[in-house]
Structure 1
Amino acid sequence: MHPFLMMAIAVAAEVFGDSMMKLSNGFQRKLPLLGTVAGYAIAFYFIAQTLEHLPIGPVYAMWTGLGIALTAVVGAIVWNEGFNLKKALGLACIIGGVVILEMGM
């Protein structure tokens, strides 16, 4: 499997895990808790597979940066957490940093 596809799966699984964590109500609800564990297990598995093909620095930057950005977007859309210029600027900085790291790969 292509490393960037594995990275995309890892990011999607992390965002899923984050969303399930929000639904778990502080780990009070068991089914979302299982979703959290499954999401993170899948994310870590695919990150480990990605690291067999790509260097750790850019991989970790992509995984965390894209995970943060997507989680913020999901929070704004699904959980109505709001989205404003400051959040957009912060996400642009994160994505810009990831791009710069990738250019040095």
Structure 2
Amino acid sequence: MVPYVLLGVAVAFEVFGDSMMKLSQGFTRKAPIIGIVVGYVAAFTLMAQTLESLPLGFVYAVWTSAGIALTAVVGALFWGEGLGAKKLAGIAVIIAGVVLLKMGA
């Protein structure tokens, strides 16, 4: 159970880092850069810890797909980027792919 929790927290830190990247406005604003560094260092550290007990393919698939899905939701909620039917279908396909990876592991 603990590796899955660590993986979830790693995803949250990655989404945080992505959000700070958006706020940095192409690295022209300096304060969000600290958030980028903190987010990605924490995400990679936690992800590395999950690899001690979970398979690499599964961990990376969950980390990237959950990151993509949550980043799309954050973009829609905070920056008005929209979350239409095509985006939702894409997220569903990504999730289905991760489920298939896990079933094959």
Which residue pairs with 1:38 in the alignment?
38
- How many angstroms apart in 2 are the aligned matches of 1:36 and 1:65? 19
- The letter for the 2-side match of 1:98 is V
Q: 1:15-56 deviations in whole A, cap 9, x for unaligned?
A: 000000000010111110110111000000000000011110
What SS does the corresponding residue of 1:93 show, helix, strand or coil?
helix
Query: How high is the TM-score relative to the length of structure 1?
Result: 0.97
* Distance in 1 between residues matched to 2:70 and 2:53, nearest whole Å: 24
SS of residue in 1 equivalent to 2:9: helix
Letter in 1 for 2:35: G
The one-character-per-residue Cα deviations of 1:42-100 (angstroms, maximum 9, x if unpaired) are: 00000000001111001100000000000001001111101111101100000110111
Q: TM-score, normalised by structure 2?
A: 0.97
Unaligned runs of 5+ in 2: none
SS of corresponding position for 1:28: coil
Distance 2:83 2:8 in 1: 23
Work out whether 1:64 is the aligned partner of 2:64.
Answer: yes
Shift of residue 103, structure 1, vs aligned partner: 1.4
Distance 2:88 2:16 in 1: 21
* 1:84 counterpart residue number: 84
Does 2:93 match 1:97? no
For 1:18-37, what aligned pairs fall within 5 Å after superposition? 18-37=18-37
Distance in 2, Cα, partners of 1:46 & 1:70: 18
- After TM superposition, where is structure 1 displaced by more than 6 Å over at least 4 residues in a row? none
RMSD of aligned alpha carbons: 0.9
Identity of aligned residues (%): 62
- Could you say what secondary structure the match of 1:57 adopts? helix
